Structure 1
Amino acid sequence: MPGLDLLATFLEIYRTGSLSAAAARLGVSQPAVTGQLARLEEQLGEPLFVRSSKGARPTPRAAALAARVGLHVDGLRTALAPSGEDSMLEGTIHLGGAAEVMALQVLPALAPLSARGLRIRVTLGLAGELLAALTAARLDLVVSAVRPRQEGLEVAPLVDEEFLLVGPPALAHAVDPERLAADPVAALAPMPLVAYAADLPIIRRYWRSEFGRRPPNQVAVVVPDLRAVLAAVVSGMGISVLPRYLAAPALAAGQVVQMHRPEVEPLNTLYLASRRDMPASPALAAVWEHLARAAQEWKSL
């Protein structure tokens, strides 16, 4: 059974996306982190990351392992933390955000606060609905995919999402590389789309940003969950645009490939928002600070 130190090192690599960043967080040398990762992979009998010049991308096994052990390892580390980081938190925080980023990034980052007694109630939905609930005092904090414009809100940028155009290998191999370079819209036009919504909000933004026009493609599937969008792409139903953090495990496993490689991937900024008139709350301050600290480690999603 892997030891706590190996699992803690694995989680730092998984959350920071690089061995060097994990070493800095842990206060050890990079060779030490490399050695611990090698020992864990040897015990598990398979690789957990695909290394490249851009960092360490998790395999599907790594994503499953992080989901399984993250809360427990964070709880043990919190129990052993010095005073100040282990003080108990009272109260309940009502938190809103999109389902995908909440499930894969935000809630795992808040696990140490849950271990300190904080109660978290989550509302999932679209940014407009969540911000309306925030201004109506039904939520305390929102992770918003659009910049909040409502008066009376305290707003701060959290992290940038990187968006990738991905498809199953079979469809990617059907695209002529020369035609893709010369006329990407025409080259990709025969590819069916898998979309988050009927008006193609994410796909449309990518096409306009990179190609200067709307996609002419047929829409094969519409499903309002980006994890389901990825599943449909993996199964061969079409191509789509997804945030890197969601597509990374499937890319590393070869289940999908990046169909188009711009010089700089299109970005969307996520924001933290709360009401300015809220009473001072150690619990809310801890959540805000913890997410801001986690976002510094994420760098981009």
Structure 2
Amino acid sequence: MKKRKLNGLEVSAIGYGCMGLSMGYGTAPEKEEAIRLIHQAFELGCTFFDTAELYAMGANEQLLGEALKNIRGQVVIATKFLFQKDWEGNSRTRLMQELRNRLEGSLKRLGTDHVELYYQHRVNKDIPVEEIAYCMGELIKEGKILGWGQSQATAEEIRRAHAVTPLTAIQNEYSIMERSSEKEVIPLCEELGIGFVPFSPLANGFLSGKVDPNAQYTGLDARRVITRFDRDNMIANQPLLDLLHQFAAAKHATPAQISLAWMLHKKDFIVPIPGSRKPARVEENFGAAAVTLTDGEFAEIETALEKIEIHGNRTDEDIAKLRSLQ
């Protein structure tokens, strides 16, 4: 697979979002199957694996660490820390200590002495981004992390943080259905030389074109609260799927592959991290790296998208409702 750079950090053109191997979409695969999927991704050329301390309370980091232990030197690991809204750090010293504790916990679970990329999972509005950036700079000096990033950050937060310690990557939701980052964030990343890592690049699987509008989701499955999976919205979004199917047929590809190829064509510093829980989907998603759109095809898709209204979305507030449904 071709490689791309996130502000100097070399990764495969498509990475693997590992959250779904432990949580998020109903019953997770058995551990042995999850490890096989991670190994399959690596064999297909993926060298970029994404996890977080929050995913299954650290179990996802443990899973990834076990799966990568024999190929650690050949891969890039990204993980994330999260400060809840009620965290009350009142000094840089306390913040630094808390971040060290969080990072050491992640490193232990991952079975490694460093991670290549350490994200702030969500920007806490009560902690100045400059303070987080300073602490990240200290961890970089110590070699515990090679670079850092923010997730779901605004252009202002990115610029302020980058001025203190340069950011490696921004991880925001981005797909052919969710394009708000195109307004300010992606142009700013281009200006500052920061990589952009879209999570949910296939809109939680909607862009596979295989989701049944009548499907019923149960338990801790995020699709219960993501409004793009409401039956009426799915039906209303059919014109988008029709467009993807049209190009998929012409390119001997799949709708998911066209969605990822569109994203890869847009900017060379964009590295999507789709999550897959079935071997066929893993193969399909990483196969998108070999699907190349011409400039004319890309322009045709862009023009068609201007005429298509998107119904429903995915928000953190909606995801937070999931546990109350148990």
Q: Same fold (TM over 0.5)?
A: no
Q: TM-score, normalised by structure 2?
A: 0.25
Please identify the structure whose Cα radius of gyration is greater: 1
Query: Which one has a larger percent strand, Structure 1 or Structure 2?
Result: 1
